[in-house]
Amino acid sequence: MSQDHQREFPSPDHFSPEEWAARVQLAACYRIFNHLGWTELIYNHISLRVPGPPGTKHFLINPFGLHYSEVTASNLLKIDLQGQIIGRADWPFNPAGFTPHATIHDSVPGAHCVMHTHTTAGMGVACLEDGLSLSNFYSAQLHGKLAYHDFEGITVHADEGPRLLNSIGDKPAVILRNHGLLAWGDGVPRAFAVLWLLQRACEIQLATQAMGQPRLISEDIQRKCTADSLQFNAKFGAGQDVFDALTRQIDRVDPSYRS
Protein backbone atom coordinates (compact mmCIF):
# COMPACT_ATOMS: atom_id res chain seq x y z
CA MET A 1 0.00 0.00 0.00
CA SER A 2 2.66 2.51 0.97
CA GLN A 3 4.51 2.00 -2.32
CA ASP A 4 1.33 2.92 -4.21
CA HIS A 5 1.03 6.15 -2.27
CA GLN A 6 4.68 7.01 -2.78
CA ARG A 7 4.08 6.72 -6.53
CA GLU A 8 1.04 8.94 -6.16
CA PHE A 9 2.95 11.63 -4.23
CA PRO A 10 6.53 11.78 -5.54
CA SER A 11 9.30 13.21 -3.39
CA PRO A 12 10.03 16.86 -4.31
CA ASP A 13 13.57 17.46 -5.57
CA HIS A 14 14.37 20.19 -3.03
CA PHE A 15 14.28 17.78 -0.05
CA SER A 16 16.85 15.04 0.53
CA PRO A 17 15.39 11.49 0.53
CA GLU A 18 16.08 11.28 4.29
CA GLU A 19 14.30 14.54 5.02
CA TRP A 20 11.36 13.62 2.82
CA ALA A 21 10.95 10.24 4.57
CA ALA A 22 11.00 12.04 7.94
CA ARG A 23 8.43 14.55 6.66
CA VAL A 24 6.06 11.81 5.51
CA GLN A 25 6.39 9.93 8.78
CA LEU A 26 5.84 13.04 10.92
CA ALA A 27 2.89 14.19 8.81
CA ALA A 28 1.42 10.69 9.29
CA CYS A 29 1.86 11.12 13.03
CA TYR A 30 -0.08 14.42 13.02
CA ARG A 31 -2.90 12.70 11.13
CA ILE A 32 -2.82 9.77 13.58
CA PHE A 33 -3.13 12.21 16.51
CA ASN A 34 -6.13 13.74 14.74
CA HIS A 35 -7.60 10.27 14.17
CA LEU A 36 -7.25 9.55 17.91
CA GLY A 37 -8.70 12.93 18.94
CA TRP A 38 -5.41 14.10 20.46
CA THR A 39 -5.73 17.62 19.02
CA GLU A 40 -6.12 21.04 20.63
CA LEU A 41 -7.44 23.41 17.92
CA ILE A 42 -4.24 24.57 16.10
CA TYR A 43 -2.00 24.26 19.18
CA ASN A 44 0.56 21.78 20.59
CA HIS A 45 3.55 20.33 18.78
CA ILE A 46 5.12 17.08 17.66
CA SER A 47 8.75 17.66 16.63
CA LEU A 48 11.22 15.41 14.84
CA ARG A 49 14.93 15.92 14.30
CA VAL A 50 16.21 15.77 10.73
CA PRO A 51 19.77 15.60 9.42
CA GLY A 52 21.32 19.07 9.06
CA PRO A 53 24.78 20.58 8.53
CA PRO A 54 27.42 19.53 11.13
CA GLY A 55 27.04 21.36 14.43
CA THR A 56 23.37 22.16 13.85
CA LYS A 57 20.15 20.71 15.18
CA HIS A 58 17.20 21.04 12.86
CA PHE A 59 13.63 19.87 13.45
CA LEU A 60 10.40 19.44 11.59
CA ILE A 61 7.31 20.85 13.29
CA ASN A 62 3.71 21.85 12.50
CA PRO A 63 2.97 25.16 10.78
CA PHE A 64 1.03 27.61 12.98
CA GLY A 65 -2.57 28.04 11.86
CA LEU A 66 -3.15 24.54 10.53
CA HIS A 67 -5.18 21.85 12.23
CA TYR A 68 -3.38 18.51 12.55
CA SER A 69 -5.75 17.18 9.85
CA GLU A 70 -4.23 19.71 7.42
CA VAL A 71 -0.56 18.93 8.03
CA THR A 72 1.31 17.46 5.06
CA ALA A 73 4.89 16.35 4.42
CA SER A 74 5.64 19.50 2.42
CA ASN A 75 3.98 22.10 4.66
CA LEU A 76 5.86 21.03 7.80
CA LEU A 77 8.30 23.72 8.92
CA LYS A 78 12.01 23.15 9.44
CA ILE A 79 13.37 25.12 12.40
CA ASP A 80 16.48 25.34 14.55
CA LEU A 81 16.77 25.20 18.35
CA GLN A 82 15.95 28.90 18.58
CA GLY A 83 12.74 28.38 16.61
CA GLN A 84 14.10 30.16 13.51
CA ILE A 85 12.62 28.82 10.27
CA ILE A 86 15.14 27.19 7.89
CA GLY A 87 14.36 27.51 4.19
CA ARG A 88 11.01 28.18 2.60
CA ALA A 89 7.84 28.41 4.67
CA ASP A 90 4.26 29.23 3.71
CA TRP A 91 3.14 29.43 7.33
CA PRO A 92 4.51 31.00 10.51
CA PHE A 93 5.86 29.06 13.49
CA ASN A 94 4.21 29.23 16.92
CA PRO A 95 6.98 29.40 19.55
CA ALA A 96 4.52 28.92 22.44
CA GLY A 97 5.14 25.51 23.89
CA PHE A 98 8.33 24.94 21.88
CA THR A 99 10.62 25.48 24.90
CA PRO A 100 10.21 21.92 26.26
CA HIS A 101 10.78 20.48 22.78
CA ALA A 102 13.96 22.53 22.21
CA THR A 103 15.25 21.72 25.69
CA ILE A 104 14.75 17.98 25.33
CA HIS A 105 16.05 17.77 21.73
CA ASP A 106 19.12 19.75 22.74
CA SER A 107 20.01 18.02 25.98
CA VAL A 108 18.50 14.52 26.29
CA PRO A 109 20.68 12.03 24.37
CA GLY A 110 18.70 10.18 21.70
CA ALA A 111 15.60 12.37 22.01
CA HIS A 112 14.90 12.76 18.30
CA CYS A 113 11.11 12.98 18.58
CA VAL A 114 9.13 14.93 21.21
CA MET A 115 5.33 14.91 21.53
CA HIS A 116 3.03 16.99 23.72
CA THR A 117 -0.74 16.83 24.20
CA HIS A 118 -3.54 18.61 26.02
CA THR A 119 -6.06 15.75 26.00
CA THR A 120 -8.82 15.97 28.60
CA ALA A 121 -7.75 12.75 30.32
CA GLY A 122 -4.07 13.76 30.28
CA MET A 123 -4.69 17.26 31.58
CA GLY A 124 -7.16 15.92 34.15
CA VAL A 125 -4.58 13.58 35.64
CA ALA A 126 -1.91 16.32 35.41
CA CYS A 127 -4.16 18.49 37.60
CA LEU A 128 -4.52 15.85 40.34
CA GLU A 129 -2.44 16.29 43.48
CA ASP A 130 -1.34 12.63 43.31
CA GLY A 131 -0.93 12.47 39.53
CA LEU A 132 -1.08 9.11 37.80
CA SER A 133 -2.57 6.31 39.86
CA LEU A 134 -0.68 3.05 39.39
CA SER A 135 -3.94 1.17 39.39
CA ASN A 136 -4.58 0.00 35.85
CA PHE A 137 -3.18 -2.25 33.13
CA TYR A 138 -1.55 0.67 31.30
CA SER A 139 -0.18 2.75 34.18
CA ALA A 140 1.42 -0.45 35.52
CA GLN A 141 3.52 -0.55 32.33
CA LEU A 142 5.07 2.83 33.19
CA HIS A 143 6.82 1.88 36.42
CA GLY A 144 10.01 3.97 36.66
CA LYS A 145 9.31 5.58 33.27
CA LEU A 146 7.30 8.61 34.34
CA ALA A 147 8.57 11.99 35.57
CA TYR A 148 6.70 15.03 36.92
CA HIS A 149 7.47 18.68 36.36
CA ASP A 150 5.83 21.52 38.32
CA PHE A 151 3.82 24.16 36.50
CA GLU A 152 5.61 27.47 35.89
CA GLY A 153 3.10 29.04 33.49
CA ILE A 154 2.95 28.90 29.69
CA THR A 155 6.11 27.21 28.43
CA VAL A 156 7.71 30.09 26.52
CA HIS A 157 10.58 31.00 28.86
CA ALA A 158 13.95 29.38 28.13
CA ASP A 159 15.05 29.62 31.76
CA GLU A 160 12.61 26.81 32.62
CA GLY A 161 14.69 24.42 30.46
CA PRO A 162 17.27 23.32 33.07
CA ARG A 163 14.54 22.75 35.69
CA LEU A 164 12.55 20.68 33.18
CA LEU A 165 15.64 18.58 32.38
CA ASN A 166 16.25 18.08 36.07
CA SER A 167 12.66 16.89 36.51
CA ILE A 168 12.81 14.52 33.53
CA GLY A 169 16.18 12.84 34.17
CA ASP A 170 16.23 9.83 31.84
CA LYS A 171 12.47 9.16 31.92
CA PRO A 172 10.78 8.92 28.49
CA ALA A 173 7.48 10.41 29.67
CA VAL A 174 6.63 13.37 31.85
CA ILE A 175 3.44 14.73 33.32
CA LEU A 176 3.63 18.52 33.16
CA ARG A 177 1.64 19.29 36.30
CA ASN A 178 -1.53 21.36 35.82
CA HIS A 179 -0.77 21.27 32.09
CA GLY A 180 -0.51 18.06 30.04
CA LEU A 181 1.48 15.08 28.83
CA LEU A 182 4.84 14.89 27.08
CA ALA A 183 6.86 11.95 25.74
CA TRP A 184 10.01 11.59 23.72
CA GLY A 185 11.85 8.78 21.92
CA ASP A 186 14.59 7.92 19.44
CA GLY A 187 11.99 8.20 16.68
CA VAL A 188 8.30 8.79 16.05
CA PRO A 189 7.08 5.21 16.70
CA ARG A 190 8.81 4.87 20.08
CA ALA A 191 7.67 8.27 21.34
CA PHE A 192 4.16 7.47 20.14
CA ALA A 193 4.12 4.12 21.95
CA VAL A 194 5.12 5.77 25.23
CA LEU A 195 2.61 8.60 24.89
CA TRP A 196 -0.15 6.18 23.93
CA LEU A 197 0.48 4.11 27.08
CA LEU A 198 0.36 7.24 29.23
CA GLN A 199 -2.75 8.57 27.50
CA ARG A 200 -4.60 5.26 27.92
CA ALA A 201 -3.52 5.06 31.57
CA CYS A 202 -4.99 8.53 32.12
CA GLU A 203 -8.24 7.65 30.32
CA ILE A 204 -8.74 4.54 32.44
CA GLN A 205 -7.94 6.50 35.59
CA LEU A 206 -10.54 9.11 34.63
CA ALA A 207 -13.16 6.37 34.22
CA THR A 208 -12.12 4.63 37.45
CA GLN A 209 -12.12 7.73 39.64
CA ALA A 210 -15.52 8.76 38.24
CA MET A 211 -16.84 5.56 39.81
CA GLY A 212 -14.83 5.31 43.02
CA GLN A 213 -11.50 4.56 44.62
CA PRO A 214 -8.88 2.90 42.35
CA ARG A 215 -7.48 -0.44 43.49
CA LEU A 216 -3.69 -0.05 43.50
CA ILE A 217 -1.25 -2.52 41.90
CA SER A 218 1.76 -3.70 43.92
CA GLU A 219 5.20 -2.43 42.91
CA ASP A 220 6.38 -5.96 42.08
CA ILE A 221 3.58 -6.39 39.57
CA GLN A 222 4.18 -2.89 38.16
CA ARG A 223 7.84 -3.78 37.56
CA LYS A 224 6.85 -7.04 35.89
CA CYS A 225 4.27 -5.30 33.67
CA THR A 226 6.81 -2.70 32.55
CA ALA A 227 9.41 -5.37 31.75
CA ASP A 228 6.83 -7.39 29.77
CA SER A 229 5.29 -4.40 27.97
CA LEU A 230 5.26 -4.81 24.19
CA GLN A 231 5.60 -1.04 23.77
CA PHE A 232 9.19 -1.16 25.04
CA ASN A 233 10.20 -4.49 23.50
CA ALA A 234 12.11 -4.24 20.19
CA LYS A 235 11.23 -7.88 19.44
CA PHE A 236 7.58 -6.87 19.26
CA GLY A 237 8.11 -3.67 17.31
CA ALA A 238 8.50 -1.24 20.25
CA GLY A 239 5.86 0.95 18.69
CA GLN A 240 6.82 0.44 15.03
CA ASP A 241 4.19 -2.25 14.36
CA VAL A 242 1.50 -0.13 16.01
CA PHE A 243 2.56 3.00 14.15
CA ASP A 244 2.59 1.13 10.82
CA ALA A 245 -0.92 -0.23 11.45
CA LEU A 246 -2.25 3.24 12.28
CA THR A 247 -0.49 4.68 9.22
CA ARG A 248 -2.36 2.15 7.05
CA GLN A 249 -5.61 3.28 8.69
CA ILE A 250 -5.07 6.96 7.92
CA ASP A 251 -3.90 6.04 4.40
CA ARG A 252 -7.33 4.52 3.82
CA VAL A 253 -9.05 7.71 5.04
CA ASP A 254 -6.93 10.44 3.42
CA PRO A 255 -3.38 9.88 2.08
CA SER A 256 -2.91 13.59 1.26
CA TYR A 257 -0.50 13.96 4.18
CA ARG A 258 2.06 12.28 1.89
CA SER A 259 2.05 15.28 -0.47
Closest CA to 126 of 167, 168, 175, 164: 175
- Closer to Zn ion by Cβ: residue 1 or 156: 156
Footprint of Zn ion (CB under 5 A): 97, 180
Side-chain-facing half-sphere of 94: CA atoms under 13 Å: 16
Minimum distance of Zn ion from residue 45's CB (angstroms): 8
Run of H or E residues at 193: helix 188-211
Minimum distance of Zn ion from residue 257's CB (angstroms): 23
Minimum distance of Zn ion from residue 139's CB (angstroms): 21
Minimum distance of Zn ion from residue 123's CB (angstroms): 9
Which amino acid type is present at position 90?
Answer: D
Minimum distance of Zn ion from residue 97's CB (angstroms): 5
- Closer to Zn ion by Cβ: residue 97 or 185: 97
Query: Cα–Cα distances in Å, from 52 out to 24, 86, 185, 187?
Result: 17, 10, 19, 16
Backbone angles phi, psi at 194, to 5 degrees: -70, -45
Q: CB under 8 Å to 108, separation ≥6 — which residues?
A: 165, 168, 170, 184
- Closer to Zn ion by Cβ: residue 112 or 149: 149
- Closer to Zn ion by Cβ: residue 180 or 239: 180
* CA–CA gap between residue 128 and residue 141 (Å, rounded): 20
Minimum distance of Zn ion from residue 164's CB (angstroms): 12
- Closer to Zn ion by Cβ: residue 76 or 176: 176
Torsion of CA 116, 230, 252, 59, to 10 degrees: 40
* CA–CA gap between residue 56 and residue 252 (Å, rounded): 37
- Closer to Zn ion by Cβ: residue 23 or 149: 149
Minimum distance of Zn ion from residue 114's CB (angstroms): 12
- Closer to Zn ion by Cβ: residue 15 or 43: 43
Closest CA to 211 of 136, 141, 139, 143: 136
Pairing of strands 58-61, 46-50: antiparallel
